[in-house]
Structure 1
Amino acid sequence: MATEGPTWLTADEMRAWRALHAVAVVLPVALEVQLQRDAQLSHLEYYALAGLSDRPDRTMRLSDLAILTGAELSRISHLIARLEKRGLVLRRPDPDDARYTNAVLTEQGWEKVRLAAPAHVATVRKLLFDGLDAAGLRDLQNVADRIVAALGATDLPLPATIRKAIRPQ
């Protein structure tokens, strides 16, 4: 009796997978290099600071910042400690629930994000969007939404922060 083997990728699927894999590997490195060069920030540092800057009060619980960045809470806690030493954020007890700690963007942190954002956005635009027309942009959004939906539906044991980051909005 013949056993069923894996369903291998077709040649077209393999080309698409390799291209997507290259994006998943190279894009974060390119963004990291740009941010380090232009702003002396890691990609995670920038994303955390930018997330805080988007809040009306420039404040967020560390646990929510972990979800936003897709990082484990312990990693975010260490990151915020380093950013606090640089004067970019403050840690404060959450006034609504003292069991939580908030990260608060300082004026110096706000200035860092404000100065870093234009070059970062230009890099994102150049690497992702300049080569797309309106139909390509819609296709990219559609494909990304489908991939995120599949990731959200997987039974793989993804970390809780990742699970929460990909839940439907």
Structure 2
Amino acid sequence: MLQRVQVRVTRLLEIDLMVAHDLPLASYDVLNQLAETAERRLRMNDLADRVLLSRSGLTRLIDRLQREGLVEREACASDARGLYAVLTDAGEARLAEAAPTYLRGIRTRFLDVLEPQELRQCASLLGKLLPAEVC
């Protein structure tokens, strides 16, 4: 049941973002993860872990976002093999446009459906399933 709920909500969020902003949910997630960092950048390996994509899947997505001017790649000064994904100003603007649609989808499909006590219980249960460093 948990998987069906997750798939349903994810599909509906994807539809919302595609219709309103021509932005896939995975792209929104990448832009959001980068925006949440102090320097608007993450090493590609760390970003892949955060967005739950394979390294090759993230590379293809970053290629697409780079072509759209939403992210840039930057070499890592301390590791010649390392690369950063960096959020551009255009990427930040696109995220700001899409965020209300995403948040509205979360609210209408999840938060508004559950009572406050159910939300607290849900948060508590999900917190037991994920280690703190993953959240």
Structure-1-length-normalised TM-score: 0.74
How far has the Cα of 1:109 moved from its partner? 0.5
Q: Matched residues in 1 for 2:38 and 2:132: separation?
A: 23
State the distance in 2 between where 1:63 and 1:25 align.
25
The one of 47, 54, 74 aligned to 1:72: 54
Q: Hey, what's the Cα distance between the residues in 2 that align with 1:125 and 1:23? A: 15
Within 2, Cα distance between the matches of 1:96 and 1:132?
47
C-alpha distance in structure 1 between counterparts of 2:40 and 2:114, whole Å: 33
Deviation at 1:116, TM superposition (A): 0.5
Give the secondary-structure state (helix, strand or coil) at the position aligned to 1:79: helix
CA distance in 1, matches of 2:5, 2:48: 23
Q: Deviations over 1:98-138 (max 9, x none)?
A: 22110111110010001100111111111110122321111
How many Å separate the matches in 2 of 1:144 and 1:90?
Answer: 34
Q: Select which of 22, 37, 44 maps to 2:4.
A: 22
Q: Would you say how many aligned residue pairs link Structure 1 and Structure 2?
A: 133
**One-letter code aligned to 1:23:** V
C-alpha deviation, 1:147, in angstroms: 3.5
Q: Distance in 1 between matches of 2:31 and 2:57?
A: 15
Deviation of the 1:61 alpha carbon: 0.7
- Residues in 2 aligned to 1:21 and 1:93: alpha-carbon distance in whole angstroms: 37
Give the residue type in structure 2 aligned to 1:114: A
- Corresponding residue number in structure 1 for 2:90: 108
- Greater mean alpha carbon deviation, residues 80-89 or residues 129-138: 129-138
- Structure 1 gap segments, 5+ residues each: 1-17, 149-166
User: SS where residue 37 of structure 2 aligns?
Assistant: coil
How many Å apart are 1:38 and its aligned residue?
A: 1.3
Secondary structure in structure 2 of the residue aligned to 1:57: coil
Distance 2:4 2:58 in 1: 27
Q: Which residue of 2 aligns with 1:6?
A: none
Q: Distance in 2 between matches of 1:142 and 1:83?
A: 35
Match of 1:143 in 2: 125
2:110 aligned residue (128, 133, 142):
128
Using the aligned pairs only, state the percent identity: 30
Taking the aligned partners of 1:96 and 1:117, their CA distance within structure 2 comes to 33
Structure with bigger gyration radius: 1
Report the RMSD for the aligned CA atoms in angstroms. Answer: 1.3
Which segments of structure 1 move beyond 4 Å, counting only runs of 4 or more?
none
The one-letter amino acid of 1:41's match is L
